[in-house]
Amino acid sequence: MAKVVREELIRQLASGQFVSGQFLAEHLGVSRAAISKHVKALGEMGLDIFSVQGKGYKLAHPMQLLEQEKISQHLQTLGAQNNVEVHTIIDSTNSYLMRRLPNQVTHGQVCISEYQSAGRGRRGKQWQSPLGSHLYMSMYWYLEQGMAAAMGISIVVGIAVADVLKGIYDLPVQLKWPNDIYVDGAKLAGILVELEGQSIGPGHCVIGLGLNVQMPDNSAAEIDQSWTDLSRELTENIDRNLLTAQLIAQISKRLQQHHQFGLAPMLDDWQKQDYFYNQNVLLLAGDKTTRGICKGINQSGALLLEVDGKLQPVYGGEVSLRAG
């Protein structure tokens, strides 16, 4: 019940106009006290809502809601046919698709949400997911060729995101191995790839993307690294529905290219945007720290680290790459 009430409150407030508490209470069939409680909860999720006696509740800024129909129309124009679900409140878009494996998802299916109560990044880190502020989306990709076909998928998705942000919005993004998108040294987006399957036979892959669009001040205070968002980097207003469709279409296109030809044709695209290429770096793996020079990636998506004049491939896992 609480989820239903909060989702309808979001729809009523999205325009940025005042909405009276009495109207909301009657419309939703709950008490005025209950409305006040739910408005407070939405504030804790990241919405900036204020109230004025005699007028009601109002968002500090109007909010463009993600709409399944608009995203699907944009996808059709772009020649993509992904099945898209749009949620208002969810625990995690990745978790939602993982729970539906293997028989309740279709190849290329996408789950998007306005808010994640348990958004996740790599190595179990929390992903800040304030309501209506960013893009949180996950895509299911069937691995016909088995789990080995997942090698380098985070690289492929990073290149696809760069294709959109650089090619359409002229944003000079940088790619950080294995799963981050940066602008001028600040994190703009992150990718989380999760797998399910056996070593033999087809596998299942869920790819999550979190992209900062307009970070609320209260959420920014909880982030412990340098970050940026599209509202800082671009002068134009962002149509989140169109941007979502552009990302879905390009990620699907790049994943299909990877399925057919592997990562080799994309190595040059990565190297041109490699944040650490030819720089001294620290590779952190558990308690072990290795110093070396970043030399790009190989055809499997492994980091090439030069240590004492010798190249060492480093594959994904519980590792972190930092400036040295």
Catalytic residues: 122, 187, 322
Q: Tokens for 180?
A: 């981050």
DSSP H helices, 262-303, are: 267-272
Cβ neighbours for 77, distance < 8 A, ≥ 6 positions apart: 245
* Cα separation, 203 vs 216, whole angstroms: 38
Alpha carbon separation from 172 to 12, 106, 166, 226 (Å, rounded)? 37, 34, 6, 17
Question: Residue 164: helix, strand or coil by DSSP?
Answer: helix
Distances from the Cα of 304 to the Cαs of 80, 183, 319, in angstroms?
Answer: 34, 22, 14
Q: Which parts of the chain are beta strand (E)?
A: 49-52, 56-59, 84-90, 110-116, 135-143, 174-176, 180-183, 186-197, 203-211, 280-285, 288-297, 303-307, 310-314, 319-323
| Angstrom distance (rounded) from CA 167 to CA 286 | 37
- Residue listed under structure tokens 């069939």: 29
Residue with tokens 């208002």: 88
Q: Is 128 helix (H, G, I), strand (E, B) or coil?
A: coil
242 exposure class (CB count in 10 Å sphere: 0-12, 13-18, 19+): middle
Which spans in 262-293 are helix H? 267-272
Instruction: Choose among 323, 165, 155, 168: nearest CA to 255.
Output: 155
Collapse the DSSP code of 316 into the 3-class scheme (helix H, G, I; strand E, B; otherwise coil) and give the result. coil
